[in-house]
Amino acid sequence: MLALAHAARYLAETGPIVLIGCGTFDRVARSELAARLDARMTASLRSRLASLLAAYPDADERRRVEGELLLPLYCYDLVEPPAEGGPCDARGAEESWNDMLRRQAEGVYPAAFGSIHVPVLMLHGAYDPHPGRRILEGLRPILPQIEYREWERCGHYPWLERATRSEFYEVLTEWLTQHTERRSDGPE
């Protein structure tokens, strides 16, 4: 999501874009995401999530633990868990998301992405709760050059999923090589 927002603002500096497990840009896709997550939650997980505020008064620590608890809902069959990304910034994450929602409500996004003319590839796992095909439907009218690749036995982190890891890297490397070489040869 942020890659597209950045590209729309800095067109001259933008090369080919790869979206991996892309976020939602409309209410329909967000509703589908919420429904998928809800369907995967157990009573035990709901109880543990409900107790986080009391157990973790620090917002950053609470968000980190929440991410750990929710991780299985996003994954199909991980080879390894995602690497720690450093300290969690709950406030920054909330402000960024609220800004994205505000800009969507104002009609800025995804409309601004229409100015992006570089190649765009969306790589997605079918098991990812983010509804890839629904997100693609919303982006295709604005980004007609978008290409889409989806893997069945794959969640939100295709580079960490047992069934897709190798193929993910092959597809990504081949596509970036092809589109980076074109760019260095001149405009398409």
DSSP track, 95-149: HHHHHHHHHHHTT-TTGGGGG--S-EEEEEETTSSS-HHHHHHHHTTT-TTEEEE
pLDDT score of 170 more than 90: yes
| pTM of the complete model | 0.89
pLDDT greater than 80 at residue 181: no
The answer to whether 64 and 88 are in contact (CB under 8 A) is yes
Other Cβ atoms less than 10 A from the Cβ of 57: the count is 9
pLDDT in tens, 63-111: 999 999 999 999 999 998 787 667 889 999 999 999 999 999 999 999 9
What is residue 128's predicted lDDT score, i.e. its pLDDT?
98
Query: Given this model, what pLDDT does residue 185 score?
Result: 52
Torsion angle, alpha carbons of 149, 86, 11, 4, to 10: 40
CA-to-CA dists, residue 24 to 57, 68, 110, 139, angstroms: 29, 21, 10, 10
Lowest mean pLDDT among 35-49, 79-93, 134-148, 150-164: 79-93
Q: What pLDDT is stored for residue 182 in this prediction? A: 60
**6-53 pLDDT tens trace:** 999 999 999 999 999 999 999 999 999 999 999 999 999 999 999 999
pLDDT at 82: 80
68: number of Cβ within 10 Å: 10
The pLDDT assigned to 188 comes to 47
* Tally of structural domains, the chain: 1
pLDDT of residue 173: 97
Per-residue pLDDT, averaged over 156-169, amounts to 96
**Polymer length in residues for the chain:** 188
Mean pLDDT value of segment 111-140: 97
Q: Which domain holds residue 169?
A: 2-185
pLDDT above 80 (res 168):
yes
Q: What is the mean predicted confidence (pLDDT) over 175-184?
A: 81
> What pLDDT, on a 0 to 100 scale, did the predictor assign at position 81?
79
Tell me which residue of 187, 104, 164, 111 sits closest to 142, measured CA to CA.
Answer: 111
CATH number of the domain that residue 64 is part of: 3.40.50
What whole-number distance in Å separates Cα of residue 26 and Cα of residue 148?
Answer: 19
